[in-house]
Structure 1
Amino acid sequence: MSSDPCPCRATDPRPLAYAACCGRYHAGPLHLLAPTAEALMRSRYSAFVRGDHPYLLATWFTGTRPADLEPGPPDLRWLGLDVRRHAEQDPDHATVEFVARSKLGGRAHRLHETSRFVRQDGRWFYVDGDVG
């Protein structure tokens, strides 16, 4: 539902509703137009949570984008996102370090990644990332 808290858990200063946060980039007039690399990364996390594979592919840089995405395991649950750092190298290149927590088969997991982003024609795209 659009008034539910956003999966990315962004605050301003209170938790933002999905429609006012990542939902506006998933559909509507701002579709695919996240204004920063961090906003794109957050919207991609929310797309993973919601199983929105078309959005994930549309926001993936063409040079590194896979042809298709496999659905995640049915018992995968995303538990939270912690953005550690956002840095712009120049107006069209940025990195975002984050930790995403999930649970699969009763076991907790953490994905700690520093992702690279590029802006082309005014749109940010995920390029790749270093897991560490």
Structure 2
Amino acid sequence: MEQNEVVLRAIGILTQSAEWIRTAERHPAAAESTDSTGTTAARGSGEGQIGSLLAEVFPSFAVPSEATPLEAAHAVTEAALPAIMQLIGAFTYVYSELAEVHDSGRTDISSEDLLRDLALRMSRPPQGD
């Protein structure tokens, strides 16, 4: 998955999270659900979107059955590290953009408007010479 696609997905999750929070604040009891194990969780809190993003970003890999625990750990780390860095980079970029606007004291743009603008910028094809 290309980095701009990961950033777009991160923006989507962050944009949707504002709605999840507003819904939970308006209807606290309706915003929770209990699963078959009795665990209470926020309903609609993005597990599906986040899980989908993780499934797309993280590669499939196999650990040889004869691998020692240390070798297995190294294999997992080696396979997962690029995806982890990609996700951290995407969320860090979006956070820094939000923080820059906030810290500058701008009041003419909301967080959601800024996220929408970032998504539009990330969706445009790169301009070449």
TM over 0.5, shorter chain: no
TM-score normalized with structure 2 length: 0.19
Structure whose alpha-carbon radius of gyration is higher? 2
Q: Which has the higher helix share?
A: 2
TM-score if structure 1 supplies the norm length? 0.19
